Amino acid sequence: MRVLDPFDVDQNVPAAVGERLGRMLERRLEEAEATDPVFAADVAGRVARFALDGGRRLRSSFLWWAMRGCGGGAREAPGALGVAAALELIQTCALIHDDVMDGSTRRRGRPALHVDIDRQYETAGRTSPCGTFGGAAAVLAGDLALAWADDAFAESVRGAPAERRAADVWRVMRTEMVAGQYLDLHGQATHATSTTRALRTAVLKTALYTVGHPLTLGAVLAGAPERTLRRLRAAGRAAGLAFQLHDDVQGAFGDPEATGKPVGEDIREGKASYLMAVARDLCVRDRNHAGLRLLDEVVGVPGARAEDVDRVLDLLDTCGARESVSRCVEELCARGVAAVAGAGLSREAAHRLGDLLRAACGQGPAAGGPAVPVAARETADPLLIGEAR
């Protein structure tokens, strides 16, 4: 087997992770075929295609450059690529399950997995206590992706000096991700409107899982000291939250061709997002009773008319919610970049991570060299089970 050169991976991290993931999934598909051909074609094959086709490999890139920035090289590279592939599989699980729970019909511009299966078997109209046949099958597909992710992670860190520390991060990440997803659903069911609750959900569901834990995993695999991990956790918490808040704004105002989701989907689903919570707070502050009534009548109504959704979008603009959240994104992103710049990483890795953070938050890459640090401030984010003690 060819020795992995980390400098080759540096040139195109997403491609290298995709190659590792492809080899890994070839073995899993052979095992699935040996188990049962129908299962392999309907479930395992769809999971593999979902993982391999699409996505920006953000989590993988954060992990890789944190590892490289903390001095990781040829010895750590194979394990880091394997853990990065495992992150792509756990993301596959999260998205497949998310589409079922939200009833989303599109993902990355294509039919969601559960919709695709229902179309194949013409079962979309046949409901059961757990949804359609496609919905139930998609739950199993997400479970399979999670099982494959855990297997890939365990194989990648087995025998490594950082095995135990990495396993601790992986365990906490999975629990927080599920907790965040549940709070998201709970917020919709209970019509939660608190900005504090919305931020906690965003931190648990997205911020730590997307940025904070991948950065920490990469640093742990390279044997980084605790002071470096603290700075990277702070960077991940701030920039990861900015990523989610930017995603909320894009979900409302972005181009469906770019987001892969229909306009107004989050509004009709009643997502208890920070954007919506801020809009309510601003309407209360300004005594905008008509705005509050509009939010009550449209948000969370699956059959809301397109013109009513447009009125909500106009309100988000006119009441100042969109501008307010966009400012938060800029500030949190800058805070995250500053924390990376002060983490003691190699110059190139710090620059790469800074650009990745800005791109993830919709801020665009830095011009020229590494960013000039800005003063980092402590946040009032909630304490979490494994990240902020």
Predicted confidence (pLDDT) per residue in 213-266, tens digit: 999 999 999 999 999 999 999 999 999 999 999 999 998 998 777 666 677 888
pLDDT at 376 over 50: no
Give the pLDDT score at 260.
65
What is the signed CA dihedral for 327, 331, 332, 335, rounded to 10 degrees?
170
Q: Decide if pLDDT at 156 tops 90.
A: yes
- Which sequence spans correspond to the domains of the chain? 8-53+77-159, 163-389
Predicted local distance difference test score (pLDDT) of residue 259:
65
Nearest CA among 66, 32, 52, 67 for reference residue 144 = 32
Q: Give the chain's mean pLDDT.
A: 90
Using alpha carbons only, give the angle 358, 360, 362 rounded to the nearest 5 degrees. 70
Q: Are 199 and 179 in contact (CB under 8 A)?
A: no
Residue-level pLDDT at 2: 64
pLDDT (tens digit per residue) in 260-288: 667 788 899 888 899 999 999 999 999 99
Residue 387 pLDDT > 70: no
Q: What is the pLDDT of residues 305-344, one digit of tens each?
A: 999 999 999 999 999 999 999 999 999 999 999 999 999 9
Q: How far apart are CA 181 and CA 253, in angstroms?
A: 23
> Please, are residues 149 and 96 in contact by the beta-carbon 8 Å criterion?
no
Query: What confidence score (pLDDT) does residue 368 get?
Result: 34
State yes or no: pLDDT of 389 exceeds 60: no
pLDDT score of 255: 79
Q: Is the pLDDT of residue 375 over 70?
A: no
pLDDT band at 382 (very low <50, low <70, confident <90, very high): very low
Q: What is the pTM of this model?
A: 0.90
Domain covering 163-389 assigned CATH 1.10.600.10 in the classification: yes
For the cut 60, the answer to whether the pLDDT of residue 11 exceeds it is: yes
The three-state DSSP-derived secondary structure of the chain is CCCCCHHHHHHCHHHHHHHHHHHHHHHHHHHHHHHCHHHHHHHHHHHHHHHHCCCCCHHHHHHHHHHHHCCCCCCCHHHHHHHHHHHHHHHHHHHHHHHHHHCCCEECCEECHHHHHHHHHCCCCCEECCEEHHHHHHHHHHHHHHHHHHHHHHHHHCCCCCHHHHHHHHHHHHHHHHHHHHHHHHHHHHCCCCHHHHHHHHHHHHHHHHHHHHHHHHHHHCCCCHHHHHHHHHHHHHHHHHHHHHHHHHHHHCCHHHHCCCCCHHHHHCCCCHHHHHHHHHHHHCCCHHHHHHHHHHCCCCCCCHHHHHHHHHHHHHCCHHHHHHHHHHHHHHHHHHHHHCCCCCHHHHHHHHHHHHHHCCCCCCCCCCCCCCCCCCCCCCCCCCCCC
Which whole number is the average pLDDT over 143-157?
Answer: 98
Q: Which residues face 131 on adjacent strands?
A: 128
What's residue 125's pLDDT? Answer: 81
